Structure 1
């Protein structure tokens, strides 16, 4: 690892992983090198490694010019110092929310946000461990090219193919740049798309009051990718959350104002900031440098399949709260958002109980190995409902502590010598 220059803008390119992903890391190292060559930036490549393949990953990352490769003990030690410096209430719970025992897509990204603040990075660019980049005319298509061309600039200064942004927003900085994917569906339900119960299951995450036509449109669009790259097309706009994916996303500024939900074992818990940007009308860049998504073999194993489907079930139950929040947080401050998040937990539980019942029925109709998912939902329905609500309560607490945590991270060395 070499030192960054003090006079250059720093950006954080992050890959959280809990699995072997040397091939993906090789791709992301190349992306970091590309960005350093083509932009006046220092790219801090951050790998948050909870896998058993730390040494193998370290060999790949040794090729990167500026890299921080942190296993869980190193992450925990840094977070402990940040939480202590922040002097926030309930420090033990905050540490658990930042580095929980279970899988949390939001928590791993929150750690990246805090570490990026400690490194002095202006923006955070997230990739996942189950991707590679498209190739077009013999060259890799790196999303960071579009991201660094727009993030942090006043919207009116961004050169885009298309501009759909209202003129009243033109002087605001671009807060987010993102794209989607090609390849496997982002949620592993492709095998059942032709089953009659697919609609019954996927439509359960629709907003309350949605019409049948709106539900069918949602189901048709959910978790599917985009067209392969055929030349850059960049749209300046308030980005529709349905058009971007969290393994191909970047933020500037926004990530230091509001964290992501730290829910465990829940897919989709890391999409919250995309909705914040949408509801606040913040300028964003929607580009078409889509990553290639693939499903790992572990996800297809019996244990991996059951765990993933239960994460999907918790996602559906969490939407009861998130729809309430999204409908109310237009132009909201972090304090307002925390209050709205907390208020969402005061809703009666009966509607979500009905959703859990319909979800169990849909899984049972799918049959085969999905029957085990239905059985688990039936046996643990009350616990799943309680967890979904508690996750939202924990999120409110984290939002309230976030400003202090970011300020503390800025003053906390990443490594404690």
Structure 2
């Protein structure tokens, strides 16, 4: 396995489908900081799904990055990502290679699939961890210096919890978990909400409450739903960073964001993320799994600064984002069921004899959930349609479009669940094939 190399390697990943020259420059600085401070070899992987003009601009930005000892940059367009995936899938010998390629690199936007590609590429490069950032985020600044989350990630990730406790501010972890590896380190964001529905709250607070509460399990009490609405999509608020604070704990999934996260390879090499397309939140699954499997993590306060890109303000951007939000709500019929099963299972049921996550248990949960009655999701669509029509304007127009696609949306949510189960089952073989073949010319 590539992880046995004497070189300590990590993957700092930036997936993007938009112009983001500033984000590329910033993450390159974070890579240089990591290499300089921790002596690790940093593979900065930019997964670029932009149009040709934007790709060309990004290529220029990458070429002008200052050379940094210990930092190796891989700027991969979709053609080179596809080349790597085809070779890896072919080497794996798995059945239905075209379907697997579509799950790994779909034609439509997929938050989970782009991160899954980073996971496979990290394996091909022999990296021990993946550290993910987003292209619509920037770093906070304190005393003229950027505040890099990787500082906490590399201080703890992969160490046993008992060893990592020396590098954190406080430890809130049962002693029985002290021998387990720190599997995840993360923080949240400050600035604009992560989901672009703030306008709904401004127009009608009651409608906002109704809409956001739809992602809760239906059996929750009104008080639980109220708390969920209050906490959802708001990150760490707006208070800027002033001093470090970190906690070794079982990290609450509501306290971290996928723009500010790092995973140990022992997690993502066993279970990938859902490959669902056009669905926000589809990349948060591993955060829940790490928590429910009682794998130690570190929660810190070097929050990313979140901002909205201009595209979200356009009519096309509005429709695209509202579709992703509705698909997220529909996915919760299945994911809430799986989260409930994971939470009810003892951590030992989710871990094998080496205390690593069991993909077969998770895919089993998913297949059972895929057979759930759709009545709950029909109710969700009805609630969204009623709420958006009440808001009027382009929300009412979107409701018309959504109503015309009801069956398609319902089918997609179930199919996404089945696809995720399939991908989990083949994932260890894909990871092994990536490790054996390496990145090759795709990394040129």
**TM-score if structure 1 supplies the norm length?**
0.97
Which protein has the bigger helix share?
2
Deviation at 1:89, TM superposition (A): 2.1
User: What is the CA distance between 1:67 and its match in structure 2?
Assistant: 0.4
Selected match of 1:225 from 216, 230, 235: 235
- Tell me which moved more, 187-196 or 404-413: 187-196
- The answer to whether the aligner puts 1:61 opposite 2:62 as a matched pair is yes
Distance, in Å, in 2 between the alignment partners of 1:136 and 1:340 is 45
Partner of 2:247: 235
Is the Cα–Cα contact under 8 Å of residues 235 and 285 in structure 1 kept in the other structure?
yes
List runs of 5+ in structure 2 lacking aligned partners: 351-357
d(CA) in 1 for partners of 2:309 and 2:372?
A: 38
Give the superposition deviation at 1:402.
0.2
Question: Aligned pair count?
Answer: 412
Distance 1:143 1:61 in 2: 21
Q: Distance in 2 between matches of 1:415 and 1:180?
A: 34
Aligned pair partner of 2:402 in 351, 363, 377: 377
1:276 aligns with 2:275: no
* SS of equivalent residue, structure 1 residue 327: helix
CA distance in 2, matches of 1:68, 1:74: 11
Separation (CA, whole Å) in 2 of partners of 1:222 and 1:275: 15
SS in 1 for 2:85: helix
* 2:104–2:113 CA contact under 8 A, matched in 1: yes
State the alpha-carbon separation in 2 of the partners of residues 83 and 90 from structure 1.
Answer: 9
**TM-superposed deviation, 1:139:** 1.1
1:180, distance to aligned residue in structure 2 (A): 0.2
**Structure 1 residues 155-164 or 103-112, which shifts more?**
155-164
Given that residues 104 and 264 in structure 1 are in contact (C-alpha distance below 8 angstroms), is that contact kept between their aligned partners in structure 2?
Answer: yes
Aligned mate of 2:359, from 329, 334, 338: 334
Partners of 1:289 and 1:368 lie apart in 2 by: 39
Alignment of 1:118-137 (within 5 A): 118-137=124-143
More off after superposition, 153-162 vs 302-311: 153-162
Please give the alpha-carbon distance, in whole angstroms, between the structure 1 residues aligned to 2:170 and 2:393: 47
Give the secondary structure class of the aligned counterpart of 1:354: helix
Tell me the equivalent position of 1:264. Answer: 277
1:400 to 417, 420, 425: 425
* 1:109-140, Cα deviation, whole Å (9 max, x unpaired): 00000000000000000001001100012211
1:192 and 2:217 correspond: no
- Judge conservation of contact 1:8–1:40 (CA < 8 Å) in 2: no
2:103 is aligned, of 92, 97, 102, to: 97
Structure 2 counterparts to residues 12-411 of structure 1, below 5 A? 12-52=11-51, 53-62=54-63, 63=65, 65-158=71-164, 159-194=167-202, 195=204, 196-226=206-236, 227-252=239-264, 253-329=266-342, 330=345, 331=347, 332=350, 333-411=358-436
Deviations 1:272-317 (A, max 9, x none): 0000001101100000000100000011100001100110000000
2:438 matches 1:413: yes
Measured in 1, the distance between the counterparts of 2:201 and 2:375 equals 29
Q: State how far apart, in whole Å, the 1-side matches of 2:190 and 2:440 are.
A: 37
2: CA distance between counterparts of 1:285 and 1:413?
30
Give deviations 1:341-392, integer Å, cap 9, x for gaps: 1110111111211111111111212222211221121111111000010000
Deviation track 1:19-41 (CA, whole Å, cap 9, x = no partner) reads: 10001111101000111110020
Kept in 2, the 8 Å contact 1:201–1:363? The answer is no
Conserved? CA contact 1:104–1:265, under 8 Å:
yes
* CA distance in structure 2 between the aligned counterparts of 1:58 and 1:125, rounded to whole angstroms: 22
What is the CA RMSD across the aligned residues, in angstroms? 1.1
Q: Kindly provide the CA deviation profile for residues 132-179 of structure 1, in whole angstroms up to 9, marking residues without a partner as x.
A: 100012211000001000100111111211111111101111000000
TM-score (norm 2): 0.91
Structure 1 SS opposite 2:195: coil
- Which blocks of at least 5 consecutive residues in structure 1 are unaligned? 1-5
SS at match of 2:46: strand
CA distance in 2: counterparts of 1:169 and 1:362, whole angstroms: 45
Separation in structure 2 between the aligned mates of residue 276 and residue 373 of structure 1, nearest angstrom: 34
1:50-107 Cα distance to aligned partner (Å, 9 max, x none): 1121221122223254101100010001000111111112211111000000000000
SS in 1 for 2:45: strand
Instruction: Give the deviation of 1:239 after TM superposition.
Output: 0.4
Q: Show the counterpart of 1:3.
A: none
